[in-house]
């Protein structure tokens, strides 16, 4: 089993606010609640993938808020 490390930083910005529609995406960092809950057990590869998905979600949130 790959070991977990702290080399990939968490995208948490300390602005925790779940979206109103699904209550599953943090509007501060873009992470899914599963990613938030499991972060400490993720491998670097999983953390990197989670961060990529989070960035994409935040872009979508920003785009939707300007339309």
Q: What pLDDT score does 61 carry? A: 83
CB 8 within 8 A of CB 35: no
pTM of the model: 0.82
| Residue 7 placed within a domain | no
More confident residue, 24 or 65: 24
Smallest CA-to-CA distance from 50 within 24, 66, 29 is with 29
CB 1 within 8 A of CB 22: no
Work out the pLDDT band at 2, boundaries 50, 70, 90.
Answer: low
- Structural domain span for residue 23: 12-67
Smallest CA-to-CA distance from 4 within 51, 47, 53, 54 is with 47
Q: Domains in the chain: how many in total?
A: 1
Q: What is the mean pLDDT of residues 51-58?
A: 95
| Residue 1 placed within a domain | no
């Amino acid at each position: 089993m790959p070991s977990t490390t702290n080399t990939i930083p968490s995208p948490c910005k300390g602005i925790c606010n779940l979206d109103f529609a699904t209550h599953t995406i943090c509007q501060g960092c873009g992470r899914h609640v599963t990613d938030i809950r499991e972060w400490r057990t993720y491998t670097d590869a999983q953390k990197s993938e989670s961060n990529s998905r989070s960035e994409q979600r935040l872009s979508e949130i920003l785009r939707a808020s300007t339309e």
